[in-house]
Amino acid sequence: MTKSSMRTTTAQTIIRELENHFVPSLRNCGKIGELKKIHANIVKLSLSQSNFLVTKMLDVCDNCGDIDYATLLFEQLVEPNAFSYNAIIRTYAHNHAYNLAITQFKQMLRAQNHILPDKFTFPFVIKSSAGLLSHPLGQQIHAQLCKFGPESHSITENALIDMYTKCDDLTNAHKVFEQMTNQDVFSWNGLIYGHARLGQMERARTLFDGMPCRTIVSWTTMITGYARNGCYADALDIFRKMQVAGIEPDEISLISVLPACSQLGALEVGRWIHLYSDKNGFLQKTNISNALIEMYSKCGCIDEARNLFDELAHRDVISWSTMIGALANHGKAHEAIELFQDMQKALVFPNKITFLGILTACTHAGLLNEGLKYFDSMRENYNIEPEIEHYGCLVDLLGRCGRLDKALDTILKMPIEPDSRIWGSLLSSCRTHKNLEIAIIAMEHHLELEPDASGSYVMLANIYAELGKWEDVSSIRKAIRSKRIKKTPGCSLIEIDNLVQEFLSDDYSKPFAQEIYGVLELLAWHQNRTSDLVEFLQEDTGLA
């Protein structure tokens, strides 16, 4: 070995020893301030071009979420290698700077020293294209993956499945899945999530039933999918089967199933979740307490909802908004307004949901002046632009208070296109106040949006009947028959032994249907006999 080569080897050894000297401090570094001090020492020792140390420092930036300092570190490198490129791409992807991650990937491909992406590059580049919801970009990266490899890498393939499902391309997601040599639980969960997100619950259920093994994520994905697609009974059924399978619910699965309890009135299941959450320390997390408050409210237990709200150690804007909305829906308008004032005193900034609750409270109580004040304060005091739901509350409030002309004028001047619910609300108010002129206008607009809506015809027919216009009532009924419009049947829900049963009017498909209708007829007969007896006693005693 020559003296020159010996000197080179010695220098490299010294550099490696200096680099290794900084590894423990970088591994234990948890703050950017500490990193800057370490970086200063690295610069003093002329090691700022060390890809090894820069990669370690980028990992610290990744953990601290400081992409600006990460960018400065990376840009100082004259010749970054694959490790440092992967580190900066990973840092950007983890911190949602997806455009920057893609930019660095392109720069990596154009690098003069011919740096090739590897199995540590592609998962984060694919994640970035999924974050941008860019299907064309995702396909281009997939093509690069086919070009550079690796041929089979489960983390990369799962990232592809995730990208394609988020871009609503389930065809290519299935192709990736079918070509995998190792289909793990993440692959199955990714496909199930994709179908559930698009409302394809039958396909999601087929995949779920075919899984070789399931995790809590698998069960929660199905529960969430059913609940979001209005299949509340199925969501509860999956939740029960998860418990039978011995899977302990976590915070996310509980939050996912609570909306189903709310919609079905499954109060006993909701109470069990409350007790379970308290036992496992979940009530300390505000989001599950908020979901429980909403569940109690929608199941009619407003006092239990208020007690839980009052016990909260920390109340965020969702807590306040949920409780205000609950009080409003239970007709406790003044309590809702008082709670809104308490929220302002607590310096919690209201949002659109908060104002929807307070406007609902004013609507149910007929508090016209207060409702108008709160509606105006959205823009003036909080810079919140009213949405169609807020206009719906305002129109309903004006209509209930008999200000039908003002309600119609509000609809016509809305910056948002009114929907069928707003016109339906106005039509309902017209019936209450027997205003035929505006009722016809409301019905025409309502039927433009929902041509087969039976409610509009029935409501207008009732207005005609109350005004004694029987010929017009007859013509409306003829129109209903000629268009073969059917009224949506009434529905009732009842919870028995933790199972929710649904009953539709004139539905004989339930077990013991004949017996059920027999009991109803008996109750009706008893009610009629009781009414006759009351009339007889009133006449006999002179109380009529």
CA 292, CA 304: separation in Å to the nearest integer? 10
Q: Is the dihedral of CA 467, 468, 472, 478 positive or negative?
A: positive
**Is the CB of residue 121 less than 8 Å from the CB of residue 104?**
no
The answer to whether the bond into 80 is cis (omega within 30° of 0) is no
494 strand-pairing partners: 501
Provide the H-helix boundaries in 467-503.
470-482
CA dist., res. 402 & res. 413, Å (int)? 19
H/E element, 500: strand 499-504
Taking the C-alpha atoms of residue 395 and residue 390, their distance in angstroms, rounded to an integer, is: 9
CA 25 – CA 38 distance, rounded (Å): 8
CB atoms within 10 A of CB 342: 14
Amino acid letter, 34: E
Q: Which long-range contacts (CB under 8 A, 24 or more apart) does 82-85 make?
A: 82/108, 82/115, 82/116, 82/117, 82/118, 82/121, 83/51, 83/52, 83/55, 84/51, 84/54, 84/55, 84/58, 85/111, 85/115, 85/121
What distance in Å separates the CA atoms of residue 235 and residue 255, rounded to the nearest whole number? 12
| Separation between Cα atoms, residue 517 and residue 526, nearest integer Å | 14
Please say whether the beta carbons of 500 and 261 come within 8 A: no
What gap in Å lies between CA 263 and CA 424, rounded to an integer?
23
Each residue of 39-63: b (16+ CB within 10 Å) or e?
beebeeeebbebbbbbbbbbbbbbe
Q: Which residue has the tokens 């140390």?
A: 53
Per-residue pLDDT of the chain (544 residues; tens, 9 = 90+): 555 555 556 667 777 888 888 889 999 998 999 999 999 999 998 898 999 999 999 999 999 999 999 999 999 999 999 999 999 999 999 999 999 999 999 999 998 778 899 999 999 999 999 999 999 999 999 999 998 877 678 999 999 999 999 999 999 999 999 999 889 999 999 999 999 999 999 999 999 999 999 999 999 999 999 999 999 999 999 999 999 999 999 999 999 999 999 999 999 999 999 999 999 999 988 999 999 999 999 999 999 999 999 999 899 999 999 999 999 999 999 999 999 999 999 999 999 999 999 999 999 999 999 999 999 999 999 999 999 999 999 999 999 999 999 999 999 999 999 998 998 899 888 888 888 888 888 887 877 777 666 656 666 666 767 666 676 667 666 665 655 555 555 556 555 555 556 666 666 666 666 777 777 777 777 766 666 555 555 555 554 4
CB-count exposure of residue 462 (10 Å: 0-12, 13-18, 19+):
middle
Nearest to 440 by CA among 409, 413, 410, 461: 461
Q: Which helix (H) or strand (E) holds 494?
A: strand 491-496
How far is residue 499's CA from residue 191's CA, in Å, rounded to a whole number?
30
Cα(270)–Cα(258) distance, rounded to whole angstroms? 7
Residue of 211, 207, 210, 181 whose CA lies nearest to 194: 207
Long-range contacts formed by 538-541: CB under 8 A, 24+ apart: none
Give whole-number Cα distances, 342 to 246, 363, 366, in Å.
43, 20, 22
Tokens read off for 128: 């970035």
Structure-block tokens of residue 504:
């539709």
**The dihedral sign for the CA sequence 22, 27, 33, 35:** positive
Strand residues in 351-485 grouped as ranges (E): none
pLDDT value for 498: 53
